[in-house]
Amino acid sequence: MTRSQGGSPQPPDRTAVVVGGGLAGITAALELADAGLRVTLAEARPRLGGLAFSFRRGDLTVDNGQHVFLRCCTAYQWFLDRIAARDLVTLQDRLDVPVVDAATGRTGRLSRAGLPVPLHLAASLARYPHLSLRERASVGRAALALRGLDLADPALDAVDFGSWLAGRGQSARTIEALWDLVGVATLNATAANSSLGLAAMVFKTGLLTDPGAADIGWASAPLGDLHDGRGRKALDAAGVRTLLRTRTSGIARSEDGGWQVSLETGPGRGEQLAADVVVLAVPQREAHALLPEGAVQHPEKLLQIGTAPILNVHVIYDRQVLRQPFLAALGSPVQWVFDRTESSGLTGGGQYVAVSQSAVEDEIDLPVAELRDRYLPELERVLPAARGAAVRDVFVTRERTATFAPTPGVGALRPGPVTRAPGLFLAGAWTATGWPATMESAVRSGLHASREALSALGLPADNRVLEAA
């Protein structure tokens, strides 16, 4: 799938090494290979997909954590098309989120109508039972204020979203029942701990641009089938040499002005790869450790980017307890609950639900027994059908560094794709994409890095995806 420019042959001998086989690295590798480079992708783990992966547990295939995307995640959807995995996701025709208040048992819905922005959400908000009339009216005013914010204004990054909302008349209840309901899941932080710049980006893009922007999508197969299985197929077809279980231990300038990448391919075994360009698509701490001296101006900034955890509590019931693909909860520690029955391969009746808990710094290290005691009774409050159901299994997946923490000031710490070392580029959801740590940010970062790498080699890059985004 080499892009040919007006029929002229591509230079055959340009080489690239991409370090890290998460979504950022896969994207960069595909783009560089599509442009005609000889690409090696080195991933430390035995699989691709980075933070969005699956593993086997008995007969089940379990995702390390529930992942969703929105219709406005155009780069991630391009990626799904590029790896031929569109058939493995479901995307709502129209945003529709059931929201249960565990305290009252009432269910409201955040949904959209077929009207232009912002009227598309007005009817649902007007009927939203978890806020008073006055609170609902205040949401409209805050949304208008959000709409007026200039996302390019760096001053937004220094302000916390919670204070900004409070200053726009949002009560604690409105923040909990609306802004945090969406924001905690997308930013992995409460409004009080989120940069206004990132929060405004999420809410403006998702709710105040295109009417369909916030329609929710999710994998209908295990994440590993998409990012590892189909990702690997696409890389193979593009001619990328993919090395798994291969940790990169060093990146240094070679005498000819290119790069020398040191790989650990097994115990006591190594390989040196020469490359014209290197894309470092690993998390910020690993990037800090691998960056050659002087490659970024303030390397210490990478270590100042905080991280935030996500916890999933997986519960197998002996019967159906959740009748929709997912729901969100209020008045309970439970945040979001997803039906994982089909995608996990559970057979023999029963239902598998995953409770997805973002920004749970105080719970991430709790023992399973404690989490079980906390969440099973809460699930019975949120899902009445769970009250008479028998629990067949409970297990927990923890990602302590699931995302970077979107705290105020983080924008100034995130580097762009271009380093001061010619031919060395950075990618990863944590780099300066303007997005919070999401699959969308990861794919965008891979597109940015590969575009810059191609341009440094004097090769044309396909900008269409980024321009459309």
Nearer to ligand FAD, 35 or 278 (CB): 278
Smallest distance from the beta carbon of 121 to ligand FAD, in angstroms? 21
Q: Please name the residue ranges forming H helices in 383-459.
A: 439-456
Nearer to ligand FAD, 65 or 406 (CB): 65
Nearer to ligand FAD, 142 or 223 (CB): 223
DSSP for 363-398?
Answer: TTT--HHHHHHHHHHHHHHH-GGGTTPPEEEEEEEE
Query: Which residues are documented as binding site?
Result: 43-44
CA–CA separation, 228 and 181 (whole Å): 30
* Residues linked to residue 328 through DSSP beta bridges, in sequence order: 99, 336
Nearest to 339 by CA among 350, 439, 401, 329: 350
Q: What is the DSSP letter of 326?
A: E
Query: Which residues are documented as binding site for FAD?
Result: 43-44
**The pair of three-digit structure tokens given for residue 205, joined into one six-digit string:** 């893009």
Nearer to ligand FAD, 135 or 286 (CB): 286
Smallest distance from the beta carbon of 233 to ligand FAD, in angstroms? 18
CB proximity list for 133: less than 8 A, separation 6 or greater: none
Helix, strand or coil for residue 273?
Answer: strand
Nearest to 333 by CA among 389, 387, 372: 372
Nearer to ligand FAD, 88 or 439 (CB): 439
CB proximity list for 122: less than 8 A, separation 6 or greater: 113, 115, 140
Smallest distance from the beta carbon of 168 to ligand FAD, in angstroms? 27
Sheet strands (E) in 9-95: 15-19, 38-42, 54-57, 60-63, 68-70, 89-91
Smallest distance from the beta carbon of 166 to ligand FAD, in angstroms? 27
Note the Cα 30 to chain centre separation in Å.
Answer: 19
Smallest distance from the beta carbon of 134 to ligand FAD, in angstroms? 32
> Residue with structure tokens 């200039």?
150
Q: How far is CA 134 from CA 45, 105, 110, 119, in A?
A: 52, 22, 18, 18
Nearer to ligand FAD, 142 or 313 (CB): 313
Nearer to ligand FAD, 276 or 440 (CB): 440
Nearer to ligand FAD, 242 or 438 (CB): 438
What residue ranges bind ligand FAD (CB under 6 A)? 19-25, 42-45, 50-52, 64-65, 67-69, 247-248, 281-283, 286, 310, 399, 402-403, 428-429, 437-442
Nearest to 142 by CA among 171, 185, 108, 101: 171
Smallest distance from the beta carbon of 302 to ligand FAD, in angstroms? 13
Smallest distance from the beta carbon of 187 to ligand FAD, in angstroms? 11
Sheet strands (E) in 102-236: 107-111, 216-219
Smallest distance from the beta carbon of 412 to ligand FAD, in angstroms? 19
